[in-house]
């Protein structure tokens, strides 16, 4: 039986793409998984597909009040902080800096950076008191490399990597582990608006990683012995 069986997880952005595959993997390991996304019908349908241990929690992670309410409810229903938090919800829009709508810049920071901070902030006290927990951040190749038209996304993901590295330093020896999983391009709906197959210089969708490959990396990190921290996993297509 998996060491994760009977434990609890929160996965943000779990209605499709990478988050859905992470939820699927953790449910298969016997965890109870709180799945977050805004689209409540899609989320409930995907959770129902995964079975009784998959629990839909419609929530806009860009809304601090929604995160506070979610944290209170989940603490009650999980009888404490989740054992694993996977900060996966993300938004991605391409535009040069001069053509980026300031609202899009703020939205990228709100979803990709501020929301992971708020979710960690909501549960870290309880994790510290319990002396256990695992915080996984889904970064990106763009948390370390810059590309044209990627100002908002790169700013948010560089920030997320910085937050992860600070947490790593603060939490060493606390019993709480932190992992940054940074994939290259993954074939999900995130790319639909960009249509990379028609754009020179972009990775064609058939050459991208699968969402299941990213989920396998998350699973690897959270199934190591308690005295092992997987600091960072960077994934690219072989």
Ligand X SMILES: NC(=O)c1ccc[n+]([C@@H]2O[C@H](COP(=O)([O-])OP(=O)(O)OC[C@H]3O[C@@H](n4cnc5c(N)ncnc54)[C@H](OP(=O)(O)O)[C@@H]3O)[C@@H](O)[C@H]2O)c1
Give me the least distance between CB of 17 and ligand X, in Å please: 2
Give me the least distance between CB of 225 and ligand X, in Å please: 27
Closer residue to ligand X (CB): 88 or 179: 88
* Rounded CA separation 154/147 (Å): 8
Q: Which of 84, 80, 76, 68 is nearest to 33 (CA)?
A: 84
The answer to whether 116 and 86 are in contact (CB under 8 A) is no
Give me the least distance between CB of 118 and ligand X, in Å please: 11
Binding site for ligand X (CB under 6 A): 12-19, 36-39, 59-62, 88-92, 111, 138, 140, 183, 185-186, 188-190
List own/partner pairs for 109-113 with CB under 8 A and 24 or more apart.
109/152, 109/155, 109/156, 109/159, 110/62, 111/61, 111/62, 111/156, 112/153, 112/156, 112/157, 112/159, 112/160, 113/156, 113/157, 113/159, 113/160, 113/163
Tell me which residue has tokens 């992860």. Answer: 164
Give me the least distance between CB of 52 and ligand X, in Å please: 21
Full strand arrangement of the beta sheet holding 232-235: 54-58, 32-37, 8-12, 84-87, 133-138, 176-183, 232-235
Does 57 participate in catalysis according to the annotation?
no
Closer residue to ligand X (CB): 1 or 238: 238
Considering 153, 156, 159, 215, which one is annotated as catalytic?
Answer: 153
Give me the least distance between CB of 142 and ligand X, in Å please: 7
Q: Which of 216, 212, 153, 157 is nearest to 187 (CA)?
A: 212
Catalytic residues: 153
């Amino acid at each position: 039986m998996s060491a994760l069986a009977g434990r609890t997880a929160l996965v943000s952005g779990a209605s499709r793409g990478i988050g859905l595959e992470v939820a699927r993997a953790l449910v298969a390991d016997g965890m109870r998984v709180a799945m977050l996304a805004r689209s409540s019908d899609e989320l409930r349908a995907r959770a129902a597909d995964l079975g009784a241990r998959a629990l839909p929690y419609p929530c806009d992670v860009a809304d601090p009040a929604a995160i506070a309410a979610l944290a209170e409810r989940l603490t009650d229903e999980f009888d404490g902080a989740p054992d694993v938090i996977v900060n996966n919800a993300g938004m991605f829009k391409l535009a040069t800096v001069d053509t980026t709508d300031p609202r899009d810049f703020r939205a990228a920071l709100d979803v990709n950076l501020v929301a992971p901070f708020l979710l960690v902030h909501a549960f870290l006290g309880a994790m510290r008191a319990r002396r256990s927990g695992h915080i996984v951040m889904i970064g990106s190749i763009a948390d370390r490399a810059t590309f044209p038209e990627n100002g908002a996304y790169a700013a948010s993901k560089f920030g997320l990597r910085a937050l992860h590295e600070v947490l790593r330093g603060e939490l060493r020896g606390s019993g709480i582990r932190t992992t940054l999983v940074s994939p290259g391009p993954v074939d999900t709906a995130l790319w639909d608006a960009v249509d990379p197959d028609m754009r020179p210089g972009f990775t064609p969708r058939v050459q991208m990683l699968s969402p299941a490959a990213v989920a396998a990396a998350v699973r690897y990190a959270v199934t190591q012995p308690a005295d092992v921290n997987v600091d960072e996993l960077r994934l690219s297509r072989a």
